[in-house]
Each structure stands twice: as C-alpha cells, then as structure tokens.
Amino acid sequence: MRQLREISLRALRKRRPWRVSGDSMVPDYLDGDLVLVDPASEISQGDAVVARHPFKNVEIIKYVAQIDDDDHVQLRSPQGDDSRQFGRVPRHTVRGRVTINVTAHRAGRNAVNR
Amino acid sequence: MSMRDRVQAMFTTPVAEAHCDGPCGVYDPASARVTAEAVLSMTKKMLDLHVPEGSDDAAWASYLNTMSRFAAIKEEQAESTKHEILVLWTDYFKPDHLEAYPDLHDTFWTATKLCSKTKQNVDVEAANELMASVEKIHKMFWESKNRDVAWVPAVG
C-alpha cells in the first residue's frame, strides 16, 4: 500500500527519484537501489536524506545525525566518508528526505524507512 | 534491481553517491615528519662535509660525489615533504576546521614555503623551522581527530 502511495506521489511530482551508487549505506540502501525523496518534507535525526556534497559536485545519500542550531546538518553513514571527514552541510543543500527504498520494498528486503 | 528500475535509472534518475571516498581517509602527518627530518639531516651533513686538502683527484671525486648525493636526497625529500603537506592541506583538512584553527592556511602556506627554501639553500635554520611547522601540523591534525599522539622524531 505504501509503495502504491509513494508511486502515486511520484506521478504527481511530489517525490523525486534517486539511484543509490556505492556501499556506504549498507544494509539499508544497496548499490543500485531506487529511492524516492520528498523535497518538501521536514527532516529530523535518523532520516535518510539526499544532500549536496559540501565541496564536490555530487549528491550523496546519508543519515541525519544531528541538525545544529545554525541550520547545518551533520550526516552519517555506516561506512565511508561522512560529516566527520567532509564537515557539516547547510540545511538548504539537503534535497529532501528519503521516503521509500522502492527496490528494497519490491524485493521484500527489510529496508529501514524511518 | 528489476528491469523497470534499470530502465528508469537509465533515463531519469540522478545518482545519490554512497561511496567510500578513495582510501577511506587514511592520512598521517608522520610521512611529512620523516621526510622533513631527512631534509634537516642532509642539510647538516652537507655543512659538515669538508673539502679535501690538496688536489688529489680521487679525494675530490669522492667529495663531489658525496656532496651531490646529499644535495640530491635533500632536494627529493623536500619535494616529498611538500607533497605530503599539500595532501593533508587539500584532502584532509576541510573548511570546517578553519573555525577551530584560524591560522590553518597560514601554517600550511609557511610549511610549503619552507620546503622550497630548504631545497634551494643549505640552511639549517630553515630546516629546523620546517620541522617546527610539521610539528604544528601534527598537533593540529591529531587534535582534530580527538587523538593524543605524541610527536616523536626518528632522530633524537
């Protein structure tokens, strides 16, 4: 049901798709997974988000570890680089909250979609 | 990934990177310390080497050979120190670190300039200053990682 709802929202352009590349978010998000992102949603600690890298021209998928008072977000991932290496990112460079891992949902994987 | 995902991914979907960044952030100012020590050591050796008395060809050949080798090693190690320092500056340290270390850029700039100075000259003072700069970077680096790592030069 949830998948249907999300796909409908995608059709209504309320969700934007991203494809995961790499293994830093294993086990919740695997290389090649398709995720949907809500650009309008508030974000909170624990959410998976897509954000712009602070100094590379790429977009990254990470968890929100903390939102600081000065509107900067600390990102974490189980593997690989995160804010501990590349620093915090400004809140406005967060593209949105990941609402569903479509691939994991279809495959019946136990994806955590907070 | 299903065929549907694959097709969708190919045409419409931007990529969200979840990559490990290169060699997973393995940095250590120790490599700069070792090469800077070599620069200091070679500088001292060059100044300690005495010109042969008289005009014995073999003695002069040996002297010039040794002096050239010291100079070549000093040159190479200073260049290597500069490279190691630049890697820390450009790859490890991030804009955020400037808050904690407002003199970060100045420290690195001074350190790399000293690499050039020790290359061009036979200057013990500059070589000692280079060591002091690398020590400052060492402290900054480990402090930024919340680790207490002692500064231990190989040559006591």
Residues of chain A neighbouring B21 (CB-CB closer than 8 A): 80-81, 85-86
User: Which class for A81: exposed (0-12), middle (13-18), buried (19 or more C-beta within 10 A)?
Assistant: buried
Kind of pairing, strands A94-101 and B15-17?
unpaired
The predicted complex's ipTM stands at 0.79
Alpha carbon of A109: minimum distance to chain B alpha carbons (Å): 12
On the question of pLDDT at A80 being above 90, the answer is: no
Nearest Cα to Cα of residue A56 among B7, B94, B134, B53: B94
A17·B18 Cβ contact <8 A: no
| Of residues B2, B18, B96, nearest to A24 (C-beta) | B18
Alpha-carbon distance values, A61 to A44, A68, A108, B130, B145 (Å): 15, 19, 21, 41, 24
- Give the pLDDT confidence score for residue B9 in this predicted structure: 53
Say which residues have a Cβ less than 8 Å from residue A4's Cβ, sequence separation at least 6.
Answer: none
| Of residues A60, A62, A87, nearest to B96 (C-beta) | A87
pLDDT single digits (tens) A20-61: 988 889 889 998 899 999 999 999 999 999 999 887 778 999
- The average pLDDT across A87-101 equals 94
Q: Which residue has the tokens 């979907």?
A: B13
- Give the pLDDT confidence score for residue A63 in this predicted structure: 96
| Reported confidence tier of residue A91, pLDDT bands at 50, 70, 90 | very high
Say which residues have a Cβ less than 8 Å from residue B92's Cβ, sequence separation at least 6.
Answer: B25, B27, B141
Q: What is the mean pLDDT of each run of 10 residues along chain B (156 residues)?
A: 61 74 66 95 97 94 97 96 92 87 96 98 98 97 90 85
Whether B99 and chain A come into contact, CB under 8 Å, resolves to no
Which residue on chain A is closest to B13 by alpha carbon? A18
B95·A87 Cβ contact <8 A: yes
| Stronger pLDDT, B9 or A3, i.e. the higher one | A3
This prediction's pTM: 0.53
- Give the pLDDT confidence score for residue B119 in this predicted structure: 97
Tell me B88's DSSP state.
I
Alpha carbon of B85: minimum distance to chain A alpha carbons (Å): 17
> Six-digit token pair at A83?
């804010």
> Helix, strand, or coil here: A43?
coil
Alpha carbon of B147: minimum distance to chain A alpha carbons (Å): 14
> Six-digit token pair at B25?
């952030």
Domains of chain B: 27-144 (1.20.120.400)
- Evaluate whether B44 touches B124 at the Cβ level (below 8 Å): yes
pLDDT single digits (tens) B89-119: 988 898 889 989 999 999 999 999 999 999 9
